[in-house]
Amino acid sequence: MLVEDDTEISDMVSDYLTKEGFVVVRAYDGEEAVRKFAGRQFDLILLDLMLPKLSGMDFLQKVRQTSLVPVLITSAKDGDVDKALGLGFGADDYIAKPFSMIELAARIKAAIRRATQYAAAAPAERTPAPPEVLRVGDLVIDLENFSVSKNGAELKLTSKEFHLLKLFAVHPKRVFTKAQIYSSVWEDDYYGDENVINVHMRRLREKIEDDPSNPVYIKTLWGIGYKLGEFGE
């Protein structure tokens, strides 16, 4: 589903994706998107946030009430993207306007591939297995149940935030570049768009750090990347 109120952009994206083999259902405002989404199965939603009648954010919330379909946000406003990627909204990825058709198609294919692999792996994940628990400072990371607690209180992390934290906790002495982080967590090639990683890292720090502006769990190595803090030493 392509939800975009700019007809020129909608035509351009729809034509390109159709040539790439996708079946595209278009909506030009939030209310139309709600109607077309109801009762249908989609592999992915490509969603502009600035929509008439019903905002893209409101539409996304309605989608998440009934579906875990991958949602790829298109927007030129970083503040809206922060909200869409944050807890409670549930967007999966973000591509900034203006974007190239080649990158857009690659992001769409990667998101659909990840969702398909997750669904295929779900039955196997239900098989009982010994719990795997990592302790990092005051954090307890349960790899089997995908849960994190701090000083006994459960932290509400999104899937991406959990996998970011897990990446550093499993490799406590390794420094990760942004390209390596994107490849590991998003399982896709890195196109140099730092915004997605920056947003998720900021959200994660707000939840796990006592002082997010002075982080101790995930350290920034300026010009290089990130690594686990002193708790991993």
According to DSSP, the β-strands at 71-75 and 93-96 are parallel
The pLDDT tens digits along the chain (233 residues) read 999 999 999 999 999 999 888 999 999 999 999 999 987 889 899 999 889 999 888 898 888 878 878 888 887 665 555 555 543 456 777 787 888 898 888 888 888 887 766 555 544 444 444 448 888 889 999 887 788 999 989 998 888 888 899 989 888 888 888 888 888 888 776 666 677 888 888 999 999 999 999 999 999 888 788 888 876 44
Q: What is the DSSP letter of 226?
A: E
Element holding 116 (H helix, E strand): helix 101-125
Q: Cα separation of 86 and 67, whole Å?
A: 17
State the pLDDT at residue 119: 53
CATH architecture of 2-125: 3-Layer(aba) Sandwich (3.40)
Angle at 58 between CA 147 and CA 21, to 5 degrees: 85
> What is the pLDDT, as a whole number, of residue 127?
43
Pairing of strands 2-3, 45-48: parallel
Are the CB atoms for 89 and 200 separated by under 8 Å?
no
Contacts of 77 (CB under 8 A, 6+ apart): 49, 50
Beta 225-228 vs 218-221: how paired, if at all? antiparallel
Check the CA dihedral 79-46-165-146 and report its sign: positive
Determine the pLDDT at residue 49.
84
Predicted confidence at residue 86, as pLDDT, reads 43
Do 168 and 227 meet the contact criterion of CB atoms below 8 Å apart? yes
Domains of the chain by residue range:
2-125, 133-232
pLDDT at 2 (0 to 100): 95
Cβ–Cβ under 8 Å, residues 183 and 167: no
Note the pLDDT of residue 39: 75
Residue 218 to residue 216: CA distance in whole angstroms: 6
Q: What local confidence, expressed as pLDDT, does residue 128 receive?
A: 45
- Inter-axis angle of helices 30-37 and 56-64, nearest 10: 20
Contact 190, 225 (CB under 8 A): no
pTM listed for this prediction: 0.54
- Which pLDDT score, from 0 to 100, does residue 76 have? 67
| CATH number listed for the domain at residues 133-232 | 1.10.10.10
Beta pairing partners, 48: 74
